[in-house]
Amino acid sequence: MKTLQINASQGAYNVYIGPDLRFELSKYLPKSYDKILIITDSQVEQLGYLKDAEEALQMETDQLYSYTIAAGEKSKQLNVFEQLQTYAIQNGLDRHSLIVALGGGVVGDLAGFTAATFMRGIDYIQVPTTILAHDSSVGGKTGINHPLGKNLIGSFHAPKAVVYDLSTIRTLSAVERRSGFAEVVKHGLIADKRMLNQLMDEVQALENIHPIVLEEALYNGIKIKAHIVEEDEQEKGVRSYLNFGHTLGHAIEAESGYGAITHGEAVAIGMLFALRVSQSYLSLSFSYQNFKTWLEQLQYPLDICKDLQISPLLDRMKLDKKNQKGQIRMVLLKEVGKPLICTIDEHRLFTELTSFMNEVME
């Protein structure tokens, strides 16, 4: 097992990474709790991980509650948030209780936001079960979607621990691996050229990716993320680099209806676009074509672009949280590992997006 410490303003917390950690969850709690509420989704429950977590946490308390939401991005909305609040109140959770977010990014964001706002904030831990959540479980971002845009309602609320059981990612479907792997690639692109090259060399298919290659990439990805969020917890500056690929990515997700394409798949397309804009704006020297071929080989659904219209995507991009004074801002790369945040003229963005879409569909 590996351990990383993250210094957050609300206190330091540990990230534990290793196999089978879910069986000994109570060992990783920062203190003892009288009441614990596990929030998970139907898929994680079906895989038996909820049962495993419940058995592990029964060591800690006999006042253990569980709430299972429907799997999928559609659960990350205000009325599911309200149901969770109601359940927590009805079961007598108080300011000294703990919430456990057992699942992928949706569960982590939603359970985290519930913890952030229940009685003005209680403790929670993240127990990610997907590759994608190696990213979202670290750094304290919590939130839900608004029909007009992703993650528009939320807050910063650091977890008290992240317990990453690598055994749980073995049961991921191909599409979930693909979704999560995009964020691993992102960490390489924005911060570690060597890591990126290694991934492009060693990963030719996501089904049979070697566990050691994956575990090392996840550990490095979390280290990169930890380093950035420690420097800029509230996203006033460098933290927005983590948003590489997300400006168009979020727009694609929203525009195609949440759930039609996974978060990471949309981010992969967004990264491809950001690389192209980086070439034309910042003369990035990078083999765009090799990267595109690699994404295709890994079966990222670039062809979803044919179903999307430019103007509504652009309107979505105008709602991005990075924007200032109504101007669209994107994270671009000067070099691999050297990100920058740039204001992009709307008309030029329209042209870039149009030619990108045409090219991708070829």
Looking at 96, 194, 210, 348, which residue binds a copy of itself (CB under 8 A)? 96
246 is in an annotated binding site: yes
Compute how many residues bind a copy of itself; rule: CB under 8 A.
38
109 is in an annotated binding site: yes
How far is the C-alpha of 220 from the C-alpha of 215, rounded, in Å? 9
CB 263 within 8 A of CB 253: yes
Residue 230: exposure state from Cβ atoms within 10 A (0-12, 13-18, ≥19): middle
How far is the C-alpha of 7 from the C-alpha of 139, rounded, in Å? 10
Looking at 1, 12, 70, 148, which residue binds a copy of itself (CB under 8 A)? 148
Residue 307: exposure state from Cβ atoms within 10 A (0-12, 13-18, ≥19): exposed
For residue 324, the 8-state DSSP code is B
49 binds a copy of itself (CB under 8 A): no
Q: For residue 90, give every residue at least 6 positions away whose Cβ sits within 8 Å of its Cβ, in sequence order, or none.
A: none
Site for a copy of itself in 149-188 (CB under 8 A): 149, 151-156
74 binds a copy of itself (CB under 8 A): no
What string of DSSP letters covers 37-102?
Answer: EEEEEHHHHHTTHHHHHHHHHTTT-SEEEEEEEPSSGGGSSHHHHHHHHHHHHHTT--TT-EEEEE
CB 271 within 8 A of CB 329: no
How far is the C-alpha of 83 from the C-alpha of 174, rounded, in Å? 31
11 binds a copy of itself (CB under 8 A): no
Looking at 11, 121, 257, 312, which residue binds a copy of itself (CB under 8 A)? 121
* Beta strands 328-335; 338-344: pairing state: antiparallel
How far is the C-alpha of 148 from the C-alpha of 96, rounded, in Å? 35
Q: x/- contact string, 322-341, with a copy of itself (CB under 8 A)?
A: -xxxx---------------
Options 50-58, 87-95, 241-249, 292-300: segment touching a copy of itself (CB under 8 A): 87-95
* Residue 178, SS3 per DSSP: helix
What string of DSSP letters covers 135-151?
Answer: HHTSS-EEEEEETTEEE
* Residue 28, SS3 per DSSP: helix
Site for a copy of itself in 200-219 (CB under 8 A): none
How far is the C-alpha of 146 from the C-alpha of 240, rounded, in Å? 20
Site for a copy of itself in 296-325 (CB under 8 A): 318-319, 321, 323-325
Site for a copy of itself in 229-268 (CB under 8 A): 234-235
Looking at 31, 120, 170, 347, which residue binds a copy of itself (CB under 8 A)? 120
Nearer to a copy of itself, 118 or 300 (CB): 118
| Shortest Cβ 148–a copy of itself spacing (Å) | 5
Q: x/- contact string, 54-73, with a copy of itself (CB under 8 A)?
A: --------------------
141 binds a copy of itself (CB under 8 A): yes
354 is in an annotated binding site: no
343 binds a copy of itself (CB under 8 A): no
82 binds a copy of itself (CB under 8 A): yes
Nearer to a copy of itself, 85 or 167 (CB): 85
83 binds a copy of itself (CB under 8 A): no
108 binds a copy of itself (CB under 8 A): no
Residue ranges that bind a copy of itself, judged by CB under 8 A: 9, 34, 78, 82, 85-86, 89-90, 92, 94-96, 116-121, 141, 143, 146, 148-149, 151-156, 234-235, 318-319, 321, 323-326
Instruction: Please report, in range form, the residues annotated as the binding site for Zn(2+).
Output: 183, 246, 263
Instruction: Please report, in range form, the residues annotated as the binding site for NAD(+).
Output: 105-109, 129-130, 141, 150, 168-171
